[in-house]
Structures are given as C-alpha cells and as structure tokens.
Amino acid sequence: MLTEEQNRQLTRVGSGTPMGELLRRYWHPIAGVAEFDGEDRIRPVRLFGEDLVLYRDKSGVFGLVDRRCPHRRADLAYGFVEQCGLRCNYHGWRFDADGRCLEQPYEDVANPTGRFRDKIRIASYPVAVKAGMVWAYMGPAPAPLLPDWEPFSWKNGFVQVVLAEIPCNWLQCQENSIDPVHFEWMHMNWGRRLRAPDSAHGPRHLAVAFDEFDHGFVYRRHREDLGEAHGMWTVGRVCLWPNAFFLGDHFEYRVPIDDENTLSVAWMFNRVPTESEPFVQETIPAWRGPIADPATGKWISSHVMNQDFVAWVGQGRIADRTKENLGTSDRGIGLLRRRFTSEMKKVADGEDPKGVLRDPQANRRIPLPTMHREVLTGGLPLAQVKAHPVFGAHLDRFVFQAGQPAEVWRDFRRAMGLPPDVAPNEAENAF
C-alpha cells in the first residue's frame, strides 16, 4: 500500500514531475516505421502530456515537433511534408527535424533581409529508427544511446510491431511486467473459462523469485507441472527497465501518452522453420489493434495482451494504490517501486539513472535472459515447431493481440512455409 503522495509521485509523468523527468532519460518507441511508408506520412502523437506531431519527410527523415505552429498556433498534424521538413498548412512556414524555421514564404518576399525566421524555433525532439520502430528521446541533451538489445539483430525471423492505446496510467501496465502469478489466473484459468465455462483450472505456481540486474528485474516461476528444470524457473522473464517487458520472443513497451493513457508497443519475433531459411524480411509490418468490441462495448478478452489490457484499465485511470493489499506474489512490485523511487532521486541529484547507456562498446547486441534461446536463434524444422509447447500454437493464430490485418497473417504464414490462405484458428486456446 502506498500513500497518496507516493502514488502521485510514481505515476505522474508531466514535465517537471519526478517520474516524468526520470522516464525522459530513456528512448521510447512511439510508432511503427511502416506506418509512415505510404502516402500518410504525418500523425499527431501525445507523449508525456505533450501534444506533438510525428512525420517522415520526403527524404525519409523522421521529425517529432510541437503540434502547434509557432506562427499563430495552427495544427501541424494537418501540415504537409516536404523534401526536407514539415510545412504548416496555414501560411506555409517550414521547419526541419531539429526545430529550425527554414522558410516563411511571405516574410521571405516582403522582408528578405529581415531574417525573421532565424529567431523562430519549434520545440523538437530527437528521433531514431530501429527494429521497425520509431523511437523518441525527450530528455536533456546529450541523448544516451538507444539500447541495442540482441533480439533486434536476430536473423531468420518474421517481425511485426503491434500498437494499442490503453486508457490508463503507464505504471499499472509496467507493474504487470513483474507479476508472475497473473499468468496462471488471467491467461490460463480465465482464458480457459472464456472458451469453455466448465473448464478445470490449470497447474498452480509453487514458487516465484525475483532478481535485479543492470537492465531491470528477472522474475522466475516454478509451476507444478513443469518442475524446477524448466526455463520458467531457470531463466525467467525480464521486467525491462524502466517501462518494458521482455518475454523471450517479444518486447512489450508501455509508453506514457499522459497521466491517464498509455501507448502499448509490442515487437514480436517468430523464428521461421529451418526449411524456410534464409528468410529476410523486406519490411517490418506495423498495425494498431482495437481494445473494445464495438458490438458489446466490452473490452476484448480473446487475446493474451488484450486480457492484460482488461486488468490494467480495470484498475482505474490511475490505480488508487492507497487501497491495495500486497501479498507474497507482489514482492517484485515492491522492488520495482523502490527502484523507481531511488532513481527519481538520482535524477534530482543530477546523476544518470539506472540502465542509461553511453558507452558504444557496451551497447552491442546486449543479451537478455531468454527462454527458448536455442529455438529462437537456431530454429527448428517445421514439424518440431508445430509440436513445440509454446511456438506450435503461434502457427495457427496470432495469440497476442486482436485485430491483426489479414495481409500480415498471410505474410507470416508464407514466411513460416505454411499455406497463406488458411484463416487463423480463433477457436484454439493458447494455454
């Protein structure tokens, strides 16, 4: 249980707040690169309570700038991209990705020597592209390095980037990254019950363990059917500092839109069977899934991450942690909160917080604890993928999030060496 003040400090992310200042010390994924491949190369984004515009100009450069034009505040989400930079649709002022004003068409004619534009800047943030995602850094200069996690350079994988906007505070999403027991109940037992009302409960957890390392926490769980030699207990999963989850075959990022909304960005890797090697993916698809069913108005509960979303939004826009009661299963939550508190203090004292990377030598294919590493990096023949207790189910259906576009499903099936026109088997239970 927290005091109201502790809860406020851990959750609020606006400019100048302790948590906002801490999280701004890291790069965050904010979109899929493929979302900007077509004609539509500009979209409004809200991050850490700031209204911004993300665009990709005709030369391919991404820019992230204030949504309001510094001339007379027109909405730059309706601007148009140029060879270099973004032009406001109201009077044509043009800005580059560094925030410089490059053109003021009428001023440049009427007062060409005035150089008014040299005095104008628009707020802008550094943007980078990696692993099919667009990343932003909103903290003070100099920006640290964008982490080069090893899975981002794994070969022979079909990757997709999956996004959703979740109407709740980011911290309840991230606390889910260090919550081992919810798998048993939310995904296994509830998942089974949703499909068959009389289904029996699955195997129980007998023990959970938590360890901290440079890039977050590892949690391990001992399930009664799997024993202590299983990767769930020997390797575990990673609550990736500060706001992500790494589960071996995918990352889930929880990026604050503002205090009451979070952008979920998932990077998903499927190793192709050895018969399909070499597989080189031309473009990493990116898509956004719905979280509510328009027919019923209820949250979608058919896919793994949608089930998590149900839990997170159910905790309220900002969970009231003065009313919770933490048990033994929640020990990791306490570790995470205490680490956030100490790192907020470090930032206030002018130090780099946990996990900030500045040494290029140390930022090369950083390995993370990875269950099924041999399968993900070395591959298996198709028959063995089909029989695999985890990856087998992934061949028949995209289990993680609802709304996968049909063309992404077909491309995935082709990559896996399977007939592309077989519909996903939505009746199948992943657990």
72: partner contacted, choices ligand FES, Fe ion, none (Cβ within 5-8 A by kind): ligand FES
Contact partners, residue 343, CB within 8 Å, separation at least 6? 22, 242, 353, 354
Distance CA 257, CA 330 (A): 26
Location of structure tokens 């309220």: 316
**Closest separation between CB of residue 360 and Fe ion, Å?**
34
63 and 96 in contact (C-beta within 8 Å)?
Answer: yes
69: partner contacted, choices Fe ion, ligand FES, none (Cβ within 5-8 A by kind): ligand FES
364: partner contacted, choices Fe ion, ligand FES, none (Cβ within 5-8 A by kind): none
370 and 376 in contact (C-beta within 8 Å)?
Answer: yes
240 pairs with which residues across the strands? 216, 244
Torsion angle of C-alpha atoms 218, 222, 225, 228, degrees rounded to 10: 100
Q: Binding residues for ligand FES, per CB under 6 A?
A: 69, 71-72, 74, 88, 90-93
Location of structure tokens 């189910």: 393
Nearer to Fe ion, 184 or 396 (CB): 184
**Closest separation between CB of residue 177 and Fe ion, Å?**
9
**Closest separation between CB of residue 95 and ligand FES, Å?**
9
120: partner contacted, choices ligand FES, Fe ion, none (Cβ within 5-8 A by kind): none
Backbone angles phi, psi at 109, to 5 degrees: -85, -50
Nearer to ligand FES, 93 or 340 (CB): 93
**Closest separation between CB of residue 70 and ligand FES, Å?**
8
Chain centroid to CA 119: 37
Structure tokens at 421: 């026109």
Nearer to ligand FES, 114 or 227 (CB): 114
Residue nearest to Fe ion (CB): 308
Distance CA 337, CA 330 (A): 11
Q: Binding residues for Fe ion, per CB under 5 A?
A: 308
Nearer to ligand FES, 69 or 263 (CB): 69
Nearer to ligand FES, 93 or 287 (CB): 93
**Closest separation between CB of residue 40 and ligand FES, Å?**
20
CA-closest candidate to residue 268, choices 412, 73, 103:
412
Q: What 8-state DSSP symbol labels residue 185?
A: I
71: partner contacted, choices Fe ion, ligand FES, none (Cβ within 5-8 A by kind): ligand FES
Nearer to ligand FES, 117 or 372 (CB): 117
At 417, the amino acid letter reads G
308: partner contacted, choices Fe ion, ligand FES, none (Cβ within 5-8 A by kind): Fe ion
**Closest separation between CB of residue 88 and ligand FES, Å?**
3
